[in-house]
Amino acid sequence: GRSDASAAGEVQPPAAGRIDHDARHSGSVREPAARLGDEACAVGGRRDGAHDAAALAGCDAVKFQKRTPSLCTPDAYRDVKRETPWGIMSYLEYRERIEFGCQEYDAIDRYCREKPIDWFASCWDQPSVDFIARYDPICYKIASASVTDLDLFRRIAAEKKPVILSTGMSTLEQIEAAV
């Protein structure tokens, strides 16, 4: 049932997190589902906010994305000019500008450990897995766009962590090959 506060229209935070923070490195989960926040990339040049909102909303973890723009930007789009908060630049320059690096991920890691709220990332390429591994995330996520990249799967599997696989527009054959 709803509490008196929620019946009166006040927003109530969700119950406490479900990921066992004392067993962080074992991936222990107390319930079959977890609430996740998603901070895909910087929005309009901002590099803050979603992890804070996720913690305040009672999320168990927040997901980021990590990619190496020179590897993940399709050739056909690299030199396409676009208007950005920093002026007109190529799509590759834009992707490089918004990609989080050590400074941002160090701050995210510090912040999430203080809350505590877990965090992890969708890694779009092998160098990104190497980068994120230094933070010892609770798991990795594979984006649906990477479902056919079996070398990436093998690299992530080598980390011996749980994996969340997005299947998006994948065929059953692609999903079966991935699993």
pLDDT digit string (tens) for the chain, length 179 residues: 333 333 333 333 333 333 444 444 444 444 444 555 555 444 433 445 555 676 667 778 889 999 999 999 999 999 999 999 999 999 999 999 999 999 999 999 998 898 888 999 999 999 999 999 999 999 999 999 999 999 999 999 999 999 999 998 899 999 999 88
From CA 34, how far away is CA 164, in angstroms rounded?
12
Which candidate, 59, 64, 72, places its Cα nearest to that of 141? 64
The reported pLDDT for the residue numbered 25 is 40
Q: Which two tokens stand for residue 116?
A: 């505590």
The reported pLDDT for the residue numbered 149 is 94
3-state DSSP assignment of residue 128:
helix
The 10 Å CB-count burial string (b at 16+, else e) for 128-153 is bbebbbebebbbbbbbeebbebeebb
Amino acid at site 65: Q
From CA 155, how far away is CA 28, in angstroms rounded?
22
Stretch (H or E) spanning 109: helix 102-114
The reported pLDDT for the residue numbered 102 is 96
The reported pLDDT for the residue numbered 62 is 87
